[in-house]
C-alpha cells in the first residue's frame, strides 16, 4: 500500500497512527496531552480527540492553533451530548459523565470512520481511551480496531473502583440513613416533612463509620473506608458517579491492554492485584509529566497541557520566600464548596501564620457542606509545616520524588515501559494486520444495515473485522 513521504523521509504507510480519547476533564487532558507529546517524540502519528472543554477553557477549536506545524499530530473534537451552557458555569461532573456514557459512542465511531476514509494517511490502528471512556473501547470493538485503556489516576484508585460491587455485596454500600431521619420520614405532620427535606442523610460521613478498617481488598493493606474513592460514599447505589466509576473500571478489564500513570515501586501491591484480574499487558509509564524532560526543543514542547489561562504574577512573590516555606492550596478544576466553607478555609490558613499561595477559581463556592472548621485547618497547616508528622510526610514525599525521577530517566522502569509500549504498538498494529480503509468503511456500512434490521446495537459488539 503506497503512502505519503513525510519530512523525516519515513513513509506514512509504514507508521501506525493511533487515536487518543480523554474524558472531558482538565486533569485528563493534562495527562493525555503529555502522552501526545511523548508519542510524537517517538515518531508515532496520532489524533487527539477531545469533547467540549471545561469552563473558562479555550474553545477546543482554538486549541488546534497549538498543534499547527507539528507533524503527525491531528486535533479533533466530538460533542458530549449536553446542551450549550454558560461558559463560566461550574461543570456538572455527574451530568457530564452520564452524558458521555450515553451519547459519545456514535460521534466517536463517526470520527473514526471519517479519519479512516481520509486520503493520504493510513487508518487508525489503535485507540488509546481514558479509563472512564468506555465508549472508546466499544467503538474499537465494533470497528475491529485494537483499543487500550489509559488509567490516568493511581493503581490503588483503580482497585478501589473495581471493588464497588463488592461493597454492595457485603452490605457496606449503600450507607444507611440515620434513625432520626427514618423517624421523620414516617412522621405525618407537615412540619416534620419540611424538616426532613432540609436535612442531610449523610451522618455516616461524620460519625466514625468511614474510619472502619477493611482488609479484604487485594493490594490495599491497612486502609479504611475513607481511603477508597469518594464516590463510594453514597446512600443510593443508583447514584450516577457510584455506578459510572464502578462500571467504567470494570470495562477496562475487557481491553487489549491497560496503561497506568504510576510506577512499579509506588503501587507494587496494587499492580499485582490488577494483574491477577487482568492477565494481559499492563504498562506503568508514570509519572507521565516527568517523561517530558527528555523531549528536545521543538514546537511540540511548547504545547501547553493546561486548558486554563496561566497567571505568572505569583512567581515574583514566591521568589522572595524561603524554600519549603509556602503552603500551596489548589482545589483543582471541578471541586466546589459553600461560601461558608470557603471562609473557614481562608481564616484557617490565615490563623496558621504560614505564608500560603491559594488558587481560587471564581466558581469554586456553591456546594452545601458544613464540616470544615477554621481551627482545624489552622492546626493541620501548622502540623504539616512545623510538626513532626509534617516533617516526616515531607521527607517521605521527597523520597518518592527522587524515585519518580529515577524511574522516568533513560534507564528507568517507566521510561523502558513506555518504549516497550511504542515498540509493541508498532509491531502489533501494523497496516498488514488490520482491514484496509475501503474494507473498514464497507464493513461499517454493513454494520449499520445490520443494526437497522436487528434494532439491537449490542449484538454487533461481538463482530470482528478480518484483514
Q: Cell numbers at residue 269, please? A: 501491591
pLDDT score, position 18: 60
C-alpha torsion sign, points 91, 97, 99, 104: positive
CB 63 within 8 A of CB 33: no
Classify 18-170+238-304+409-429 by CATH class. alpha beta
CB 149 within 8 A of CB 126: no
CB 219 within 8 A of CB 272: yes
- DSSP sequence for 19-31: EEE--SSHHHHHH
Which of 1.10.3720.10, 3.40.50.2000, 3.40.50.720, 3.40.50.2300 is the CATH number of 325-406? Answer: 3.40.50.2000
**Which residues have C-beta within 8 Å of that of residue 305, sequence separation ≥ 6?**
29, 30, 31, 33, 34
Q: Are both 18-170+238-304+409-429 and 325-406 of the same fold?
A: yes
For the chain, what's the residue count?
A: 467
CB 151 within 8 A of CB 260: yes
End-to-end CA distance of the chain: 14
Burial 276-309 (b: 16+ CB within 10 A, else e): eebeebbbbbbbbbbbbeeeeeeebeebebebee
pLDDT score, position 78: 84
Convert 309-344 into a string of H (helix), E (strand) and C (coil): CCCCCHHHHHHCCCCCCCEEEECCCCCCECHHHHHH
Farthest CA pair distance, the chain: 81
SS3 378: helix
* Residue corresponding to grid cell 520524588: 401
CB 450 within 8 A of CB 465: no
pLDDT score, position 403: 98
Q: Cell numbers at residue 199, please? A: 436535612
Q: Domain-by-domain residue ranges, the chain?
A: 18-170+238-304+409-429, 325-406
Residue 184 CA to residue 193 CA, distance in Å, equals 7
Q: Which of 215, 307, 238, 261 is nearest to 38 (CA)?
A: 261
**Which residues have C-beta within 8 Å of that of residue 61, sequence separation ≥ 6?**
77
Neighbouring C-beta atoms of residue 65, cutoff 10 Å: 10
Residue 250 CA to residue 246 CA, distance in Å, equals 6
pLDDT score, position 379: 93
- DSSP sequence for 404-463: HHHHTSTTSHHHHHHHHHHHHHHHHT-GGGS--HHHHHHHHHHHHHHHHHH--GGGGGG-
Q: Cell numbers at residue 31, please? A: 495527562
Long-range contacts of 441-445 (CB under 8 A, 24+ apart): 441/113, 441/116, 441/117, 443/143, 443/144, 444/109, 444/113, 444/143
Which residues partner with 330 through β-bridges? 359
Residue 366 CA to residue 336 CA, distance in Å, equals 6
pLDDT score, position 64: 52
Residue 335 CA to residue 323 CA, distance in Å, equals 28
pLDDT score, position 92: 78
CB 135 within 8 A of CB 101: yes
Exposed, middle or buried: residue 92 (CB in 10 Å: 0-12, 13-18, 19+)? middle
**Which residues have C-beta within 8 Å of that of residue 164, sequence separation ≥ 6?**
173, 232, 242, 245, 246, 249
Residue 232 CA to residue 145 CA, distance in Å, equals 33
Give me the average pLDDT of each 10-residue run along the chain (467 residues): 28 48 52 50 50 40 53 75 62 85 93 85 82 92 91 95 97 80 49 44 83 96 94 94 97 94 96 96 92 72 62 91 92 75 90 92 58 86 93 95 96 93 69 38 37 34 29
Q: Cell numbers at residue 356, please? A: 500560603
Q: Cell numbers at residue 418, please? A: 513506555
Amino acid at each position: 500500500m503506497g503512502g505519503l513521504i513525510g519530512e523525516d523521509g519515513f513513509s506514512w504507510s509504514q507508521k501506525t497512527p493511533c487515536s487518543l480519547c480523554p474524558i472531558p476533564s482538565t486533569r485528563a487532558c493534562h495527562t493525555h496531552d503529555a502522552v501526545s507529546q511523548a508519542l510524537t517524540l517517538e515518531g508515532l502519528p496520532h489524533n487527539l480527540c477531545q469533547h467540549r472543554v471545561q469552563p473558562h477553557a479555550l474553545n477546543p477549536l482554538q486549541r488546534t492553533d497549538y498543534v499547527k506545524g507539528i507533524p503527525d499530530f491531528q486535533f479533533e473534537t466530538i460533542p458530549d451530548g449536553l446542551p450549550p451552557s454558560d461558559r463560566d458555569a461550574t461543570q456538572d461532573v455527574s451530568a457530564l459523565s452520564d452524558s458521555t456514557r450515553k451519547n459519545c459512542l456514535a460521534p466517536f465511531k463517526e470520527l473514526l470512520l471519517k479519519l479512516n476514509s481520509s486520503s493520504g494517511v493510513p487508518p487508525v490502528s489503535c485507540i488509546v481511551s481514558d479509563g472512564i471512556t468506555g465508549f472508546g473501547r466499544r467503538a474499537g470493538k465494533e470497528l475491529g480496531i485494537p483499543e487500550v485503556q489509559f488509567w490516568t489516576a493511581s493503581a490503588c484508585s483503580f482497585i478501589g473502583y473495581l471493588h464497588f460491587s463488592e461493597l454492595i455485596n457485603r452490605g457496606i454500600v449503600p450507607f444507611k440513613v440515620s434513625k432520626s431521619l427514618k423517624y421523620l420520614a414516617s412522621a405525618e405532620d407537615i412540619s416534620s416533612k419540611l424538616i426532613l427535606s432540609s436535612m442531610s442523610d449523610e451522618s455516616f460521613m461524620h460519625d466514625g463509620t468511614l474510619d472502619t478498617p477493611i482488609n479484604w481488598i487485594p493490594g490495599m493493606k491497612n486502609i479504611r473506608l475513607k481511603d477508597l474513592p469518594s464516590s463510594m460514599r453514597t446512600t443510593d447505589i443508583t447514584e450516577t458517579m457510584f455506578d459510572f466509576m464502578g462500571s467504567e473500571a470494570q470495562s477496562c478489564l475487557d481491553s487489549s491492554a491497560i496503561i497506568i500513570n504510576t510506577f512499579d515501586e509506588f503501587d507494587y501491591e496494587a499492580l499485582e492485584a490488577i494483574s491477577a484480574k487482568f492477565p494481559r499487558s499492563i504498562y506503568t509509564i508514570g509519572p507521565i509529566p516527568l517523561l517530558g524532560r527528555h523531549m528536545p526543543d521543538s514546537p511540540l514542547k511548547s504545547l501547553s497541557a493546561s486548558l486554563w489561562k496561566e497567571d505568572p504574577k505569583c512567581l515574583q512573590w514566591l521568589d522572595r520566600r524561603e524554600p519549603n516555606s509556602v503552603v500551596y492550596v489548589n482545589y483543582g478544576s471541578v471541586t466546589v464548596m459553600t461560601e461558608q466553607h470557603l471562609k473557614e478555609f481562608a481564616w484557617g490558613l490565615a490563623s496558621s501564620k504560614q505564608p500560603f499561595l491559594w488558587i481560587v477559581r471564581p466558581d469554586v463556592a456553591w456546594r452545601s457542606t458544613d464540616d470544615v472548621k477554621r481551627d482545624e485547618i489552622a492546626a493541620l497547616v501548622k502540623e504539616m509545616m512545623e510538626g513532626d508528622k509534617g516533617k516526616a510526610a515531607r521527607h517521605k514525599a521527597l523520597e518518592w520524588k527522587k524515585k519518580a525521577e529515577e524511574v522516568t530517566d533513560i534507564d528507568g522502569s517507566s521510561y523502558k515501559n513506555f518504549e516497550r509500549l511504542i515498540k509493541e504498538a508498532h509491531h502489533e498494529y501494523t497496516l498488514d494486520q488490520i482491514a484496509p480503509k475501503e474494507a473498514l468503511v464497507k464493513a461499517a456500512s454493513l454494520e449499520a444495515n445490520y443494526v437497522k434490521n436487528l434494532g439491537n446495537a449490542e449484538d454487533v459488539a461481538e463482530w470482528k473485522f478480518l484483514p
